[in-house]
A and B are shown apart, each in its own frame.
With several copies, the nearest count.
Chain A
Amino acid sequence: MNRLSIELPGLSLKNPIMPASGCFGFGKEYARLYDLSKLGAIMIKATTLETRLGNPTPRVAETSSGMLNAIGLQNPGLEKVLAEELKWLEQYDVPIIANVAGTLTEDYVEVAKHISKSKNVHALELNISCPNVKCGGITFGTDPTVAAELTAAVKEVSEVPVYVKLSPNVTDIGEIARAVEAGGADGITMINTLIGMRLDTRTGKPVIANGTGGLSGPAVKPVALRMVYEVAKQVSIPIIGMGGVATVDDVIDFMSAGASAVAVGTANFVDPFVCPNIINQLPEKLDWLGLNHVSELVGRSHR
């Protein structure tokens, strides 16, 4: 028996651990460090219809136990992602969750239609929560009606299950979650980054060229955990939790709060081996907790 396997819509995961979108590129760099087939899944960098060059630099800034980023969805565009990145990833035995972004509903639909046909793309992750682009992104993620409509439009064309990635920058995340569930989402991934800012103390000007950026890393874990806990009570579709995960204990916490799987973002920069390390440590942690299977963790907090 594989004590770590998790079944989710479209996804048969060897284990519940996957790198979060934007923190792992398209896998190539980390493939130099370890075998990507060890991972439960891979959430690839946001893919848009056209090539995007992203925001001016500096694009990252450090904060207390966290970092800000304003990459601005830089990516080679749908065509290249299909032909090069996803093709290359086929050599690994690992399901891909394709993070889909755009400016208009049509963009999302177009990318979803094509990318969901890709052999190794087993699910989509709709990025309605990127705080670093002027149009699209987060604007879809803060209005429940708009979020539901986008979900429905993408569901219509997608050949694989659709997960929607929620923004934490909202008054009531449960409301958005219920809306996308009603719109037909197969699952929820959360959270994306909190909008934040760092100033250069000397000049008084923002460190990040874009002005604001998205806050991630251990600093945001309490907020992410609370939101997963809240959403888990309100929807019946599964949640892939993330936000500040850096250790196996963090994974336990997110699953206890109601996540069925967990994504690791910023921590990959701190420790490039963090994902396989956590996977290796999970069985021992289950023993410590007296549990047989990792799925027994899911929603412990609510019981």
Chain B
Amino acid sequence: MIRQERMRIVKHKEIAHHIFEMTLAGQLVHDMYSPGQFVHIRVSDSYEPLLRRPISIASINHKDSEFTMIYRAEGRGTTMLSQKQIGEELDVLGPLGNGFPIEEAAPGETVVLIGGGIGVPPLYELSKRLVDKGVKPIHVLGFQSKEAVFYEDFFRELGETHIVTVDGSHGQQGFVTTLLAELQPEFTSYFTCGPTGMLAAIQNMYHDRKGFLSFEERMGCGLGACFACVCKTTDQTEVDYVKVCSDGPVFPAGVVSV
């Protein structure tokens, strides 16, 4: 069920340059079932900024009724979010969207998880779930520079992890696609989240492979009602368009025309 709840901030800290980790507590957590789902957050009670901000769920802790998200303080809304204090309440709508299909990977299989920048967070909960299920993940994570890297150790704990940075200040220099081309990993399917350019490159590179991509698009309602977040589909698909907020944000490779 989708709920609107004033959730309490129980943890909040900067974990990399302008990158914040925030943990929220509330009943809404119990409706979260899938990594890759997102929440829609109102950063202020005022009308300025007006719209909610979509942020992915990075990890779910049902036991303590908590979930964690990781976001980059960039524009007006996320900067205001970054100023919130522990103990304050936040108006959260969620969980929204479909999430990554864990059922698509079978125990014993190897999968690649490819993340770029603030596309990395949802892969964390995904990886945990996959590992729990006996799937072996290989993580390929791209960042702008050393200062922007986060959760490296957490991912290493779960499996093989490769870091690339655009400026080469940490890990290998280049893009995730450069590294993947070199690495040529064996895998049965891939899961990825990141900037649209990266998703396009990956979908091209692995055009004949099974994969699942999580997309971003500017949103209004976040619920599927306003047609703000539509993406054109490819000829392979029956429908003319999909909505990122309600049909996605995760789509099988080949569905969204990039």
Instruction: Give the interface of A toward B (CB within 8 A).
Output: 22-25, 28-30, 32-33, 45, 51, 53-54, 57-67, 69, 71, 74, 217-219, 246, 266, 268-273
Contacts and interface: CB of A to CB of B under 8 A. Distances in A.
Nearest to A266: B50
Contacts, number: 106
B12 to A, nearest CB: 23
B4 A268 contact: no
Contacts of A273: 4
B218 A57 contact: yes
A266 B217 CA distance: 18
Given A24-B225, A270-B42, 20 more contacts: A23-B225, A28-B225, A32-B223, A33-B223, A53-B240, A57-B229, A58-B218, A59-B229, A60-B51, A67-B220, A69-B226, A71-B227, A217-B47, A217-B50, A218-B48, A246-B47, A269-B52, A269-B221, A270-B50, A272-B4
Contacts of B141: none
B231 interface: yes
Contacts of A219: 47
Contact of A25 (B52, B93, B226): B226
Interface in B22-71: 42, 47-52
A29 B221 contact: yes
Interface string B226-255: 111111100000001100001000000000
A69 B240 CA distance: 21
A219 B51 CA distance: 13
Contacts of A269: 51-52, 220-222, 226
Most buried by A among B52, B219, B225, B232: B225
A57 B48 contact: no
Interface of B: 1-2, 4, 42, 47-52, 77, 93, 217-232, 240-241, 246
A28 B222 contact: no
A72 to B, nearest CB: 9
A57 B222 CA distance: 15
A58 to B, nearest CB: 4
Contacts of A268: 221, 225
A64 B2 CA distance: 28
B223 A30 contact: yes
Would you call the interface of chain A mostly helix, strand, loop, or mixed?
A: loop
A138 to B, nearest CB: 19
A66 B231 CA distance: 24
Contacts of A272: 4, 93, 221, 223
Contacts of A25: 224-227
Contacts of A51: 240
A201 to B, nearest CB: 11
Given A54-B230, A74-B230, A271-B4, A30 B225 contact: yes
A28 B228 CA distance: 16
Nearest to B225: A25
Given A65-B47, A66-B50, A57 B221 contact: no
22 contacts: A29-B225, A32-B1, A32-B2, A51-B240, A53-B230, A53-B240, A57-B231, A59-B227, A59-B230, A60-B218, A60-B219, A60-B220, A62-B77, A69-B226, A218-B50, A266-B50, A266-B220, A268-B225, A269-B222, A270-B51, A270-B52, A272-B221
List 3 A-B pairs, minimum CB-CB distance, nearest first: A25-B225, A65-B47, A29-B223
